Amino acid sequence: MVFLAPERRGAFIARFARPFAKPNIADLLMLVLIGTSAVLVVHGVQQMNQPLAALHQHPVVLELGRLPGYALLTTLRMFAAILCSLIFTFVVGSLAAKSRKAALVVIPALDILQSVPVLGFLTFTVAFFLGLFPGNELGAECASVFAVFTAQAWNMAFSFYQSLRTIPSDLDEASRQFSLSPWRRFLRLEVPFAMPGLIWNTMMSMSGGWFFVVASEAITVGDNTVTLPGLGSWLALAIERKDLGAVVWAVGAMALVIALYDQLIFRPIVAWADKFRFEQTASQERARSWVYDLSRRTRLARTLFAPIAWLGRALLAFEPPRIKSRAITLPARAERWIDRAWLGAVLVAVILVAIKAAVVLSHTLALPAVGEAVTLGLLTLARVLILIVIASVIWVPIGVWIGLRPVWAERVQPFAQFLAAFPANVLFPIAVMVIVALRLNPDVWLSPLMVFGTQWYILFNVIAGASALPTDLKEAASMFGVRRWQWWRTVALPGIFPYYVTGAITASGGSWNASIVAELVSWGQTHLEARGLGAFIAKATAAGDLPRVGLGVAVMSLFVIILNRALWRPLYGFAERRLRLD
């Protein structure tokens, strides 16, 4: 500051001191929010970094006074996983959307990874993370965060990929005319255009992580048991002891946590991201948030977040050095042959890995076990397809109606997040008691548990698609008197279709994943099983039978890839070719 001219020095001091010269009530409220959040985060991190023996010395107990601390630890794990998922989304989604050769590997890999159940990841990663931090609770925490990450990342990556593939051509041409570098194009075009859909999918992924919170905190793989303090382990213990009161308290705590981070984090982000909507006519209704309005009135926030704002401006101004290279133009036929060669190399690698896995499994498994896994996979496939159709018929009209009304979207948002986060384990007591009392067929009546936590992918994506419909398009449809089925056929369905496909893909993959906990349910000593691949994997995991776990995961991945390639990918291509908002 000593190097500034006297007149500029005075302006700088006045600008820095202004927030503290005239504090207001908004400053006080913001200070309380920021200070409380910082104290809770620091306390939670300290609780996570303890010797592993402390988990055995202080096991999870169903004491009401412990519940707030458990809720804090679970929430920190969820947000750590969502941050990792965002980084993964930006890197992998961009790579798949911008490189044909990378897409040939990345998209099938995402198909496989989203189909691998959380228990499948835990089976092979718990020992790795515990060995990475020997004797420290941090290893178990990393395993839990990674498990939640596997329930969150794929949906967000698919959403970002879909947005990049459907950027309107006029925006794409404008970015090229302005000679934007890849970095500035990413920050000024791609991320803003993908923001509305990505935010809704981030909320959905956050809620989806709650669905598997029991499996990620109460980890049992064979003889190894690691129980981390949290809402998930509380629920697991309550279900084991058939304590309905403890289950109700856990659900109430979860609802409170969801309402808090919806009000304090997600709703302000939705209100802020409304400016990124792609439209030429201003919308009459805008998303609102009292925290966002408060942050705009406070002077303190501007000072506290000045380093973050400076970092954002520096990122926008940053220009990575360009590598000078001669552009090599190949004939179209040569490019096709290169693509085929690359695809062939990938296929050969996959086949070699599959052969190696088959050889390993053949030493421990008989051929009838493979036939059993495939047969059970067909049963689970039938359940998945039927449930996705039913969920689509129900939630597409509702999602469009909500998405076109921002006021209702604000009201529904926390409720929908809570339903999406509602763990299926909580419904086990009701499902078991009803099925046993009425002597119902578990193969049929356990199926709704598979889609209970995944149908919301369809709803959230449809809401995002309807919210992103340009205002000028809606006004033109109104001026020309487009009504009823014609409006659905020419306006609503084409506009939401890319978003719906993203939601249906992730709902399908999530249903396969949810089959692990939905096809084999317990309440105390009462166990019910629906014949399917999910129950096959769950029983093998509980028994520590790694070869059968590997077989089940491989068969499930194969079914998901076939379904995606035969159905969802063609629909993706149709959306890219015919339904872009150009």
**pTM of the predicted protein model:** 0.72
**16 falls within a domain:** no
d(CA 156, CA 147): 16
**Which helix H or strand E contains 292, and what residues bound it?**
helix 290-297
Single out the residue of 209, 519, 483 nearest to residue 383, CA to CA: 519
Phi, psi angle pair for 520, to nearest 5°? -140, 100
**347 falls within a domain:** yes
Long-range contacts of 63-66, Cβ-Cβ distance < 8 Å, separation of 24 or more:
64/249, 66/229
Cβ atoms of residues 414 and 487 within 8 Å = no
What tens digit of pLDDT does each residue of 42-73 get? Answer: 877 777 777 777 777 778 888 888 888 888 88
Write out the DSSP string of 431-487.
Answer: HHHHHHHHT--HHHHTTHHHHHTTHHHHHHHHHHHHHTS-HHHHHHHHHTT--HHHH
Cβ atoms of residues 123 and 150 within 8 Å = no
Q: Give the number of domains in the chain.
A: 1
d(CA 1, CA 13): 9
**350 falls within a domain:** yes
Cβ atoms of residues 505 and 512 within 8 Å = no
d(CA 212, CA 219): 11
Task: Give the Å distances, CA to CA, from 43 to 39, 46, 64, 255.
Answer: 6, 5, 19, 22
User: In this structure, is the dihedral angle defined by the CA atoms of residues 470, 476, 478 and 481, taken in order, positive or negative?
Assistant: negative
CATH no. for residue 259?
Answer: 1.10.3720.10
**326 falls within a domain:** no
In three-state secondary structure terms, 219 is strand
Could you list the residue range(s) of the whole structural domain that residue 35 is in? 24-277+284-316+338-578
- Counting as low any pLDDT under 50, the low residues of the chain are 1-4, 12-13, 16-17, 19-21, 281-282, 325-327, 581
d(CA 490, CA 365): 54
d(CA 467, CA 57): 51
pLDDT score at 204? 77
pLDDT score at 88? 93
pLDDT score at 279? 54
- 218-221 and 526-529 strand pairing: unpaired
Helices marked H in 99-136? 100-115, 118-132
Task: Give the Å distances, CA to CA, from 553 to 146, 297, 515.
Answer: 18, 52, 12
**Tokens matching residue 151:** 């329930």
Cβ atoms of residues 54 and 83 within 8 Å = no
- Residue 524 has what DSSP assignment? T
**188 falls within a domain:** yes
**173 falls within a domain:** yes
If you search the block for the tokens 């872009």, which residue do you land on? 580
Cβ atoms of residues 216 and 147 within 8 Å = yes
What is the phi-psi region of residue 439: left when phi exceeds 0, alpha when psi lies from -120 to 50, beta otherwise? left
- Three-class SS string for 253-315? HHHHHHHHHHHHHHHHHHHHHHHHCCCCCCCCCCCCCHHHHHHHHCCHHHHHCHHHHHHHHHH
**Which helix H or strand E contains 528, and what residues bound it?**
strand 526-529
Residue type, 375: T
**Burial letters 317-341, b for 16+ CB under 10 A, else e:** eeeeeeeeeeeeeeeeeeeeeeeee
**248 falls within a domain:** yes
Cβ atoms of residues 570 and 492 within 8 Å = no
